[in-house]
Amino acid sequence: MAETPAALDGSDRTAIFLLAIGQERAAAVLKHMTPKEVQQVGAAMAELRSITADTVDDVMAEFVTTIQNQTALGIDSDEYIRSMLTRALGADKAGSVIDRILLGRNSKGLDQLKWMDPRAIADLIRSEHPQITAIIISLLDSDQAAATLAFLPERGRSDVVMRVATLGGVQPAALRELDDMMEKQLSGNENVKSSTLGGIETAANILNLMDSAVETDIMERIAEIDPDLGQRIQDKMFVFDDLVDIDNRGIQTLLRELSTDSLLLALRGADEMLKEKIFGNMSHRAAELLRDDLEASPPAKLSDVEAAQKDILQVARRLADSGEITLGGGNDALI
């Protein structure tokens, strides 16, 4: 079945755009993306199936670029991805991304960790001192850190999160030493310049992206050991119902990135204020259809609802990081 423009999220649209503009231009674009962004877009490319000309035109219009005649999508996607990523990143780094996207491998020093599977990172740091583990966890993006933490021994997770929350900063010399240690294990050398790591907000962001049961267990353990620290982390955590504090323009931007199915599932566990805010930032027809679907949809597992909410929070955090929305801001008029 062909994908429709409304069913595409940001990664899908980026994938179509890159597939349409050709390998040379796509490679130039990918050079400016982070490892996580390359993985997300590459995975979307690998998943694309039937794309209509109307869908491509819709995507091109969004990029405010007239390339409507350049729709080279009838190609071997796997081979295209391999060739394009190799051009953009070089053979070594592209190999690790291709393995992650099309099936499962290498960069340099601490930087290499951002290209690794969370389970592999957990296996690598499992026997390290908790302080070393906390530093490494702080270096990862929040979603990757959360997934890595989930693979670590249950008894040690709360200790690691507490150390992340109280980290504050690390001397550059200590980071270079840690980088050297990673180099010996992973092959490579990458000088790390930044020494600001961890903190309450980092710990909160990581916990926000973890499975709810695991998150609750960690927070309970932290509260038993250091109630004040636990409360400060809790105060920084952004939960699904906090989306109600995003201004209307921000909600509309967020909605453009979400699939209807994901939103429908997530709203099953939302409070009425948030539901009304969502409905108020949709067209009247779309809001009515969503209301009807919510009323008619069968019961859903709590774990599935929470997972959908976590996914949406991750999208919201990505948009906030890129400056497209502000988490917790204002009440502007509808547009």
The pair of three-digit structure tokens given for residue 227, joined into one six-digit string: 């109630």
Which part of the chain is CATH 1.10.220.30? 129-236, 240-321
Local structure of 51: helix, strand or coil: strand
Contact partners, residue 30, CB within 8 Å, separation at least 6: 18, 38, 41, 84, 85, 88, 89
CATH number of 5-105: 1.10.220
pLDDT at 261: 87
Point out the residues of the chain with pLDDT beneath 70.
1-7, 49, 53-54, 57, 59-82, 84-109, 183-198, 328-335
Contact partners, residue 330, CB within 8 Å, separation at least 6: 247
CA dist., res. 71 & res. 66, Å (int): 12
Measuring CA to CA, which residue among 264, 91, 167, 230 is closest to residue 255?
264
CA dist., res. 200 & res. 71, Å (int): 46
CATH number of 129-236: 1.10.220.30
Compute the half-sphere exposure of residue 236: CA atoms within 13 Å on the CB side of its CA: 16
pLDDT at 106: 40
pLDDT at 236: 78
DSSP class of 170: -
What is the third-level CATH fold of 240-321? Answer: Annexin V; domain 1 (1.10.220)
Contact partners, residue 335, CB within 8 Å, separation at least 6: 248, 249, 252
